[in-house]
C-alpha cells in the first residue's frame, strides 16, 4: 500500500486541472467565435489524408445523480430529446461541408448524459445520419457510454449490429447505501446482466466507470465494489476522483459534506484502488485509468503512443477532434472551440446555418510547447525535455529552466519524492503518479494567473 504523510497530502491535494486539454477550458474566451472555428476547419481540410476523431454529446438523462458534474439536461419528454438530434445532424452537415474530403474517422464516441436515454432505433438513426457525412475507418474505435439502468438487450444488439465495438458502463459504486446517498440506484444484477450480454455480442472492449471519494464510501464498501468488478474482468476501468464542486454544480449542494471522506481517508481509497487493481493484473495508466495488458490502451501506454483529449485517455494520437452537440469542445488545427451550452442558443445558431461556437482559444507557440510536455507527463509519467524541445526547434532544458529549478529546489517535488530528474528527463515516481496533475501543473504557465479561483476539483 502506498503511503503519504499528512503534510505532503495537505500540500499537494489542491485544486488543479485534469489536463484533458492545455490550456484548459478556463482560458477559453468569447473573443474566439464561429469565424475563427471556420478558419481552423478550412485549414484542417487541407490535410485530407489525415483521420479525425468525432465526439457527439447527447446530454439527456431521466434524472440527475447528485454526484454528477457533467453537462446534462433532465427530461422524460421524448420530443425534447428528439428535437436535439435534428440539430446535431444539421451541425454535422455544417462541419462536413467545411472539412471537404477530410471525413475519415478513426475514433467515434457517443457520450452524455445518457446516450441510451434514446430508444435503439433512434440511436441507430442518428448513427446512420452521421455516417452520411463521415466515413468510419476499418479499424475505428466506435464507442458509446451506457447506463445499465436504462440500457436494454435491444440496445446492445442494435449497437453491435451497427458496428459499435466499445462500451463504457456507468457503475460508480455497487454499495446500496452509497447509491442512496448519490441518488443512483443500480443493482449489481443489472450491471452484471448487461456486461454478460455485451460479452455475448462480441464487443471488443468494455470499460467500467467507478468513482472514489463518494459520500458514505469507505475502505470496506470500496473493496466490495472492486472485488465484484474484478470478478467480471472488464477490459478497462476508469476510476475517477469525486469532483465535489458545489459552486459549479448546484445540485451537489444536496450532498451532506460531512459524509464525504476527509483528505487522508480519500487518499487511502485511491491507494486501495491502485493496489487492488494492479494486484489483480490491471496496468495503471495515467491518473485514473486501468487496463488489462492485452487492451489497446495498455499497449499504447507500453509503446509510448498514449495520448489525452477531451474524451480522456485514447490511443489515437495526433488526430484533430471534432465535437457535435451542446457544450461539445473541438480541438482542431491548433485551436479549441466550444459549442453553446444552452440548448436555446445552440438550436438558434444551427437553425440559422451557422457554426454554434460560444467560445474558444487559439494556441500560441508557448501553449503548444507546454501542451506537448504536459501530455507526455499525463500519459507516460515522464518527458524528455530535450526531445520535446527539438520538436519545436528550441533547447527544452533551457526553455524550462525555471520549472526545473522549482522542482529541484529544497522542498520541491524531487526532494519530496514525487519526481526524479534524470539528465534532461523528468519522471514521476510511483508516488508522484498519484499526484501527476500536480507534477504537470509545474509546466502550466496559466496557473499563476488563475490563482486561487475555484475552477477545479482537488487533485486527490
Looking at per-residue confidence, does 314 or 415 come out higher? Answer: 415
pLDDT digit string (tens) for 139-177? 999 999 999 999 999 999 999 999 999 999 999 999 999
Give residue 250's pLDDT band: very low, low, confident or very high (50, 70, 90). confident
Would you place residue 1 in the very low, low, confident or very high pLDDT band (cuts 50, 70, 90)?
A: low
Q: Say yes or no: do domains 6-324 and 364-460 share a fold.
A: no
pLDDT for the residue numbered 357: 98
DSSP string, 414-441: TTTTSEEEETTEEEE-HHHHHTHHHHHH
What's the CA angle centered on 321, arms 320 and 322, to 5 degrees? 120
Q: How confident is the model at residue 2 (pLDDT cuts 50, 70, 90)?
A: confident
Instruction: Answer for the pair 130, 77: CB distance below 8 angstroms, yes or no.
Output: no
Q: Which three cell numbers stand for residue 5?
A: 504523510
Degrees to nearest 5, angle at CA 295 with 284 and 236:
55
According to CATH, what is the number of the domain 364-460?
Answer: 1.10.10.920
Least confident of 46-50, 217-221, 289-293: 46-50
pLDDT at 31 over 90: yes
Q: What is the pLDDT of residues 112-137, one digit of tens each?
A: 999 999 999 999 999 999 999 999 99
Under 8 Å CB-to-CB from 78, ≥6 apart: which residues? none
- Which residue ranges make up each domain of the chain? 6-324, 364-460
pLDDT given for residue 459 in this prediction? 76
Q: What is the pLDDT of residue 453?
A: 52
HSE of 336, CA atoms in CB hemisphere, 13 A: 25
More confident residue, 221 or 447: 221
C-alpha span between 236 and 295 (Å, rounded): 8
Tens digits of per-residue pLDDT, 174-216? Answer: 999 999 999 899 999 999 999 999 999 999 999 999 999 999 9
Average pLDDT over residues 76-83: 83
* CATH number of the structural domain 6-324: 3.80.30.20
Amino acid at each position: 500500500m502506498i503511503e503519504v504523510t499528512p503534510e505532503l497530502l495537505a500540500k499537494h491535494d489542491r485544486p488543479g486541472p485534469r489536463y484533458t486539454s492545455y490550456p484548459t477550458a478556463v482560458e477559453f474566451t468569447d473573443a474566439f467565435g464561429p469565424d475563427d472555428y471556420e478558419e481552423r476547419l478550412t485549414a484542417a481540410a487541407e490535410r485530407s489524408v489525415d483521420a479525425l476523431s468525432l465526439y457527439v454529446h447527447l446530454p439527456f438523462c431521466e434524472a440527475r445523480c447528485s454526484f454528477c458534474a457533467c453537462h446534462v439536461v433532465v427530461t422524460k419528454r421524448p420530443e425534447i430529446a428528439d428535437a436535439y438530434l435534428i440539430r446535431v445532424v444539421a451541425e454535422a452537415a455544417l462541419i462536413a461541408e467545411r472539412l471537404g474530403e477530410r471525413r475519415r474517422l478513426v475514433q467515434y464516441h457517443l457520450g452524455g448524459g445518457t446516450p441510451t436515454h434514446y430508444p435503439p432505433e433512434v440511436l441507430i438513426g442518428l448513427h446512420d445520419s452521421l455516417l452520411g457525412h463521415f466515413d468510419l475507418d476499418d479499424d475505428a474505435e466506435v464507442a458509446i457510454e451506457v447506463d445499465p439502468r436504462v440500457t436494454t438487450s435491444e440496445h446492445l444488439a442494435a449497437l453491435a449490429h451497427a458496428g459499435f465495438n466499445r462500451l463504457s458502463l456507468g457503475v460508480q459504486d455497487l454499495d446500496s447505501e452509497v447509491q442512496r446517498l448519490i441518488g443512483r440506484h443500480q443493482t449489481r444484477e443489472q450491471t452484471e446482466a448487461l456486461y454478460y450480454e455485451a460479452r455475448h455480442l462480441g464487443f471488443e472492449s468494455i470499460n467500467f466507470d467507478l468513482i472514489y471519494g463518494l459520500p458514505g464510501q469507505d475502505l470496506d464498501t470500496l473493496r466490495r465494489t472492486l472485488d465484484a468488478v474484478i470478478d467480471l474482468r472488464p477490459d478497462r476501468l476508469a476510476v475517477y476522483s469525486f469532483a465535489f464542486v458545489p459552486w459549479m454544480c448546484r445540485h451537489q449542494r444536496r450532498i451532506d459534506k460531512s459524509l464525504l471522506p476527509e483528505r487522508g481517508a480519500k487518499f487511502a481509497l485511491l491507494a486501495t484502488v491502485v493496489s487492488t487493481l494492479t494486484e489483480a493484473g490491471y496496468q495503471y495508466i495515467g491518473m485514473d485509468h486501468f487496463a488489462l495488458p492485452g487492451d489497446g490502451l495498455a499497449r499504447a501506454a507500453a509503446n509510448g503512443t498514449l495520448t489525452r483529449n477531451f474524451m480522456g485517455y485514447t490511443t489515437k494520437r495526433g488526430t484533430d477532434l471534432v465535437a457535435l452537440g451542446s457544450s461539445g469542445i473541438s480541438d482542431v488545427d491548433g485551436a479549441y472551440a466550444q459549442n453553446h451550452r444552452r440548448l436555446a442558443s445552440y438550436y438558434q445558431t444551427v437553425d440559422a446555418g451557422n457554426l454554434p461556437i460560444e467560445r474558444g482559444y487559439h494556441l500560441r507557440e508557448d501553449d503548444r510547447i507546454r501542451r506537448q510536455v504536459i501530455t507526455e507527463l499525463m500519459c507516460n509519467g515522464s518527458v524528455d525535455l530535450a526531445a520535446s524541445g527539438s520538436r519545436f526547434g528550441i533547447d527544452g532544458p533551457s526553455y524550462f529552466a525555471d520549472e526545473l529549478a522549482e522542482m529541484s529546489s529544497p522542498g520541491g517535488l524531487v526532494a519530496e519524492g514525487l519526481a526524479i530528474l534524470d539528465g534532461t528527463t523528468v519522471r514521476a515516481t510511483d508516488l508522484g503518479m498519484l499526484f501527476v496533475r500536480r507534477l504537470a501543473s509545474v509546466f502550466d504557465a496559466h496557473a499563476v494567473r488563475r490563482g486561487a479561483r475555484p475552477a477545479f476539483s482537488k487533485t486527490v
